[in-house]
Amino acid sequence: MQKFIHPLTSEWEALIERPTASFDDLKDLVLEVFKQVQNRGDEAVLEYTKEFDKIQLQTLQVSPEEILNGVNAVPKELKKAIQIAKSNIEAFHKAQKTKTVKVEIQSGVNCWQEKHPIEKVGLYIPGGSAPLFSTILMLAIPAQIAGCEEIVLCSPPNIQGKLPNEVLYAAHLCGLNKIFKVGGIQAVAGMTFGTESIPSVYKIFGPGNQFVNVAKQLATRYNVAIDLPAGPSELLVVADETADADFVASDLLSQAEHGPDSQVILVTTKESFLEKVIKAINQQLQNLPRKKIAQKALENSKMIVLENDEIAVTFINSYGPEHYIICVENEKYYVDKVRNAGSVFIGNYTPESAGDYASGTNHTLPTNGYSKQYSGVNLDSFTKAITFQKISKKGIQDLGESIELMAAAEGLQGHKNAISIRLKKINNEA
């Protein structure tokens, strides 16, 4: 990890850059894949799966038999762990339900808002070297709580041309049956346009690599919504001498092992603390099965010493981390000053891994600084708010003149007439 001691504010822009390709660097490839999938459907998806994933598939959809075999192959202990996680995630997301908001604005003017589920949603589940079956829980559970009618799941096949047993079990546990062995750009394109096998959806959810992130953003050009821009994983830890260096090192490595384009950041006001963390990282790294991946990610990562808490907080909010761990003596100050973060983890005994799996919060979060504009996935992500209003005869009489004056001022006579005609008829009835 690179070390920066008291960097100038003018240097911050470079410090908060992520090690990812730009949208413009990838869009041409993504657009070409989209074009082919739109025009040729399954045929194009199968071709790209062979080209990108080196897998020759005959069919895209996972059969009921494959699901059953996968479910049966998962060890009982892991099934129990997944069930506990499912229960906690359900509890937290059920608590996010809101009541219908009803207001009598003035006499005879009633307005209300209702939440309705998005009917058709697509879930993208990353695969590759680390199939993230936990993401199924994070997306399928709130989708079901919200009441989405059709839930489509896409995930890249492994080298055997199958989905991992754990993925199939988690999908089965969540009641999903439209499961497809397809990943990357072609999966997003398939859910955008629909193919002979893959249904089109109204909104696509789920994290992915740089290509998936760009594909999701391009999907919005074709009237498909997305949850948020969610690319390579990232973590920022703020810590001082009261933190446990071993804990901090383990948290940094937990995210570094996601992929070579992941980024982890350590922020501290105590330079002496850095050496303790560096020593702990070097020790723990030796026993990490994904050592090479983590090492590559660490090359893109930084340790930053800042002068005081105020400057540290300002820098952290400028960075806008996906995951943010606070392990400092002045905990309340940092918590109260959070402005931009996907999810926050407080204290020495709250590792980011807890949120990734089983504490109940959602781990599908904005990356690359998008926490400044986006929330992480939550129950509302799977719904849309519809407003209603009903105005009585007395209500339109009392409100009508204000509407007429405003419509006339905007030069919209038709709008004014819609009020005037009603008021005239009411007056004639009197």
Write down all domains in the chain, each with its CATH number in brackets.
2-19+232-360 (3.40.50.1980), 23-231 (3.40.50.1980), 392-429 (1.20.5.1300)
For this structure, is 93 an active site residue?
no
Beta strands in 306-422 (DSSP E): 323-327, 343-346, 383-391
Residue with tokens 């041409």: 28
Contact indicator for 4, 302 with CB cutoff of 8 Å: yes
Contact indicator for 366, 375 with CB cutoff of 8 Å: yes
Position 40 scores a pLDDT of 98
Position 20 scores a pLDDT of 73
What is the chain's pLDDT, residue by residue, as a tens digit (430 residues)? Answer: 999 999 999 999 999 998 876 778 889 999 999 999 999 999 999 999 999 999 999 999 999 999 999 999 999 999 999 999 999 999 999 999 999 999 999 999 999 999 999 999 999 999 876 778 999 999 999 999 999 999 999 999 998 999 999 999 999 999 999 999 999 999 999 999 999 999 999 999 998 888 998 999 999 999 999 999 877 889 999 999 999 999 999 999 999 998 898 999 999 999 999 999 999 999 999 999 999 999 999 998 999 999 999 999 999 999 999 999 999 999 999 999 999 999 999 999 999 999 999 999 999 999 999 999 999 999 999 999 999 999 999 999 999 999 999 999 999 999 999 999 999 999 998 7
Q: Cα angle vertex 55, ends 49, 56, to 5°?
A: 90
Of 358, 360, 39, nearest in space to 192 by CA: 39
Position 135 scores a pLDDT of 95
How far, CA to CA in Å, does 364 sit from each of 2, 112, 355? 28, 30, 10
For this structure, is 323 an active site residue?
yes
Position 259 scores a pLDDT of 87
Catalytically annotated residue among 322, 404, 415, 429:
322
Position 166 scores a pLDDT of 96
Of 377, 339, 388, nearest in space to 118 by CA: 377
Contact indicator for 361, 378 with CB cutoff of 8 Å: no
Catalytically annotated residue among 166, 323, 352, 363:
323
How far, CA to CA in Å, does 223 sit from each of 44, 188, 219, 226, 379? 21, 13, 7, 10, 21
Global pTM reads 0.93
